[in-house]
Amino acid sequence: MAKLLTPEVFMIVKVVAVFIIVLTMVAIGTWVERRGAAFIQDRVGPNRVALFGKFRIMGLTQPVADGIKFFFKEDVIPDNVDRILFVIAPIIAFIPATMTFAAIPFGRPFDVNGVNYFLSILPPATNIGVLYILAIGSMGVYGIIIGSWASNNKWSILGGMRASAQVISYELAMTMAVVGVVLSTGSLQLDEVISAQTGLWNVVPQFLGALVFFVAMFAETNRLPFDLAEGESEIIGYHTEYGSMKFSMFALAEYANMITAAALFVTLYLGGWHFPWLDQWIWGSILAFLMKLIFILWIFVWVRWTLPRFRYDQLMRLGWKVMIPLSLVNMVVVAIFLAYRG
């Protein structure tokens, strides 16, 4: 077995496994979203779809039925759209989320016959790990903007304009919050960021930065109360003209971005795969990472179904007059503390 586990084979296994796990979590995430909404609103939720017509399993097969429905729906492209951009926009929205997840270590490294294996697709010792995630993660909004523009629909364009303004506003606050972690760690390498949290997670000494990042994370993923780009009860949003698999690609992109953002928060502020007693062996470290990830994802669902949507002026005011000043304060406090410490 050890002879078969070459670095090349292990890399292929990781790529396939991460892709399958992310897609599986996206599918389960849609089910958790709907069941969570039903729980919060004191109703039943989806429970009609049954396996072999007999086993409902709390509606767990609902995502499978949804996927089949989207796959066989007629793919309609309106005559007045830019066809090329209209088709590639959902792909542009989805790919950055999966690419970003490639840099996140989801378990402790291990040795086999003197060869070190790491549980991330990109080497965790990559010098630009944090920068790579921020750069690639911010590209997802281009899919929204291109899709809204290519749709040649005023409501879609309005949703795209809201999305671009929102991402610009909150990307700054999120990046400056991450600067505090980089300053305290002294590195852009994600493995060193995780190693620095062996005893004390960053969420404690950098609570302000973690709070800014956490709020900006909702805005970056277009989740309530920051879903102004979609605004289901107002403008419908950037995907007004989309249907079938193209529409489902935007939904996949939203949930994939949620998973990636939650994984990044776990890595930067919640100690990554560190957890008392669990991080001593490989599977325990993976379990610890997944437990934290699922907890953050549940908060996404909880917030969506309990808080109302911001008005556009409130969203902009919060981003520029509250979030950015708080991130600057966090950065200055961390810098002063490091200078005082020596």
Bin 17: left if φ > 0, else alpha if -120 < ψ < 50, else beta.
alpha
What pLDDT, on a 0 to 100 scale, did the predictor assign at position 4? 63
- Residues across the chain: 342
Share of the chain above pLDDT 70, in %: 94
- pLDDT one-digit tens code per residue, 127-178: 788 888 888 888 888 888 899 899 988 888 888 888 888 888 899 999 999 9
Q: Work out the end-to-end distance of the chain between its first and last CA atoms, rounded to an integer number of angstroms.
A: 49
**Mind giving me the DSSP string for 37-59?**
HHHHTTS--S----BTTTB-GGG
Give backbone dihedrals phi and psi of 247, rounded to 5 degrees, phi first.
Answer: -65, -40
Inter-residue contact 206 to 197 (CB < 8 Å): no
Q: What is the mean pLDDT of the chain?
A: 86
The owner of tokens 């809204």 is 148
Residue 130 is which amino acid? V
Give the other-Cβ count within 10 Å of 180's Cβ: 28
What pLDDT, on a 0 to 100 scale, did the predictor assign at position 329? 95
Interhelix angle 140-150/83-101, nearest 10 degrees: 170
**Mind giving me the DSSP string for 139-197?**
THHHHHHHHHHHTT-HHHHHHHHHHHHHHHHHHHHHHHHHHHHHHHHT-S-HHHHHHTT
Residue 93 is which amino acid? A
What pLDDT, on a 0 to 100 scale, did the predictor assign at position 5? 66
Three-class secondary structure of residue 115 per DSSP: strand
What pLDDT, on a 0 to 100 scale, did the predictor assign at position 176? 92
How far apart (Å, rounded) are the C-alpha atoms in residues 333 and 335?
5
What pLDDT, on a 0 to 100 scale, did the predictor assign at position 124? 66
Going by C-beta distance under 8 Å and a sequence separation of 6 or more, which residues neighbour residue 13? none
How far apart (Å, rounded) are the C-alpha atoms in residues 57 and 122?
37
How far apart (Å, rounded) are the C-alpha atoms in residues 271 and 288?
10
How far apart (Å, rounded) are the C-alpha atoms in residues 4 and 10?
9
Give the other-Cβ count within 10 Å of 14's Cβ: 18
Instruction: Indicate the helix (H) or strand (E) that contains 116.
Output: strand 115-117
Least Cα distance to 317 among 186, 189, 165 occurs for 165
Q: Which residues of the chain have pLDDT under 50?
A: 1
How far apart (Å, rounded) are the C-alpha atoms in residues 177 and 172?
9
> Burial, 161: exposed, middle or buried (Cβ in 10 Å; 0-12, 13-18, 19+)?
middle
